[in-house]
Homo-oligomer: A and B are copies of this chain.
Amino acid sequence: MIRVTRRYRFAASHRLHSSELSGAANRDLYGKCNNPYGHGHDYVLDVTLEGPLDGATGRVCNPATFDSLVTESVLRDFDHKNLNEDVPEFAAAVPTSENLTSAIEARLRDSWDTAFPAGWPRLRAVRIQETKRNSFEKIR
């Protein structure tokens, strides 16, 4: 069994603001991330699969298939977008990197389980780097 990780990037903007909290509580909680007009990041997305080696091709997953699944399920909807305005998962939820990681992992898990019903290659981890200083990971 080998683990394969491919790295993607997307540029997006967001504003951290919870509709369940007062303006003052939002400013206190999210600080400058609560700026009314938003701000943005270059997100790094690392997707990790695990699976057995295919003896004929020497691969765990065809890279073209890998890229196509990530592009269709995530990058097309998240790259060069405003997370609050453009992505349905954040109509209600606050686009923190934790919620972003959950949303992306759920999309990728669905894509993989649909594309590979036999179970291999299997999605193992999704990691989002928001900046050089923080990262967020969901492990399956």
Contact = CB atoms under 8 A, between A and B. Distances in A.
Interface of A: 1-7, 9, 11-14, 16, 18, 20-21, 29, 31-33, 35, 37-42, 53, 56-60, 62-64, 79-82, 84-86, 93-96, 98-99, 101-102, 131-139
A101 B2 contact: yes
Nearest to A93: B58
Nearest to A63: B134
Contacts of A29: 57, 62
B39 A13 contact: yes
Contact of A39 (B2, B12, B53, B102): B12
Contact of A136 (B4, B33, B101, B135): B4
22 contacts: A1-B138, A3-B138, A5-B135, A5-B137, A7-B134, A11-B40, A11-B131, A13-B37, A16-B58, A29-B57, A37-B82, A37-B86, A38-B38, A38-B82, A39-B79, A39-B81, A42-B131, A42-B132, A53-B98, A57-B96, A58-B93, A59-B98
A81 to B, nearest CB: 6
A3 B139 contact: yes
